Every structure is written in structure tokens, then in C-alpha cells.
Amino acid sequence: MQITYSLVFFWIFCSLAGSARASDNQYRVEIQKVDEFHQALLQVMQSANATEREKLLSPRVKTLYDVSSISRISVGRAWRSLTEGQKDDFVELLTELIVATYSDRFRDFDEQYFELLGTEPINKGVIIKTAINKRNEQLATLNYYFRGDQVFNVVANGISDLSLRRAEYGSIIKEQGYDQLVNQIKNKTSEIKASD
């Protein structure tokens, strides 16, 4: 009887492992995009020059992230009242902030490495689950939410970047107006770059 249970357990384990591999293979394009972004971050961490870091990051951020959707969701209902020119300017502004933030947060290399934890299908997309580690210790989990072929949200250690951004931007627009939001984003980007 013990042998039978062991065989059943082994069969279930193998089936689950095979299913996980099949799922990962199904989303190989998304996994590759995240992997390429992580490789760029590792390069960035080994560069002491802020301009060089941003030059490396900018094309990767534009390829991986759907900054247009992130902008629209973050601004909320006020997005509909903006002109096309204002929308384009905001997307460019937010892209610059995202690049500067990554450049600032990933500036020191100390044997960090990224790990693929798995994938999870969601409505019209998939979550690519990863972690950043150092010397076999997990520093943070980073889950990339894809819709189509680009990321619209990152959840780090269970905290949604898009939710935080939407709450913050919505509050500023409601209390101070859209123009003040733009000014605050510009100031924040400048502060990050000046701190290098």
C-alpha cells in the first residue's frame, strides 16, 4: 500500500512539473522580454555613470512597459479631458520617471541575480513571477503583469505599483489639478537624477 501511495505521489508530482514547464513554454515570449530587461538591470547595476544607466534602460523600458496604458490608468477620468498632445507629453514624462527610478534603485551590484518563479494566466494576459536574490537569499519578488505583449503593472513584494500610482496621481489631480501633477512628476524626476 505504501508503494502504491508513493507511486501516485510521484505521478502527481511529475504531472505538475510537466504542466508548469508547458505553461512556462507557452509564455516564452513574455519570459524572454522580462529576462532581457533583467539582464539590462544587471548591466545598469555595474555602471557608475547615471547617463549610461539611463541610456541602457530607456529602450528596454519602452519595449517592456505599456506606458500609454499605465499613464491612462494612473491619471484616471482626467485622461479623457486631455488633448492628444498632452497625452503624448505625459507618456514621455512618465517614461522618463520610470527610467530614472530604475537607474536610481539599481545602481549597486553585489552578486544579485534574478530568478524565474513561474507563470500565472490572467484575463487577457499572464503574470511572469520572478525574484531578485543575493547569495541565495531572496531580496524581493517582482511579478510582471502582461496584457498583450507589454507590462502594465509590476507587483513588488505584494505591492502594486499601478495601484499606488493611481491613488497618488488621483489625489493630486483632485486637490491641486492636472498641471500640478505634471510639475510634481518633473520635480521628482529631477530630484532622482540630482541624487546620483
CATH code, 112: 3.10.450.710
pLDDT of residue 17: 41
Domain limits at 177?
A: 2-194
Distance CA 128, CA 116 (A): 8
Residue-wise pLDDT for 109-134, tens only, equals 999 999 999 999 999 999 999 999 99
Tens of pLDDT, residues 147-167:
999 999 999 999 999 999 999
Report the distance separating Cα 136 and Cα 130, nearest Å: 14
| Count of the separate structural domains present in the chain | 1
Cell 500565472, residue located: 120
Query: Are the beta carbons of 193 and 99 closer than 8 angstroms?
Result: no
Separation of alpha carbons 97 and 192, rounded Å: 9
Predicted pLDDT of residue 23: 56
Q: What is the CA radius of gyration of the chain?
A: 20
Q: Lowest mean pLDDT of 25-29, 62-66, 100-104, name the range.
A: 25-29
Q: What is the pTM of this model?
A: 0.86
Strands 137-147 and 150-156, bridge-based pairing: antiparallel
Residue 54 is which amino acid? E
pLDDT tens for residues 72-103? 999 999 999 999 999 999 999 999 999 999 99
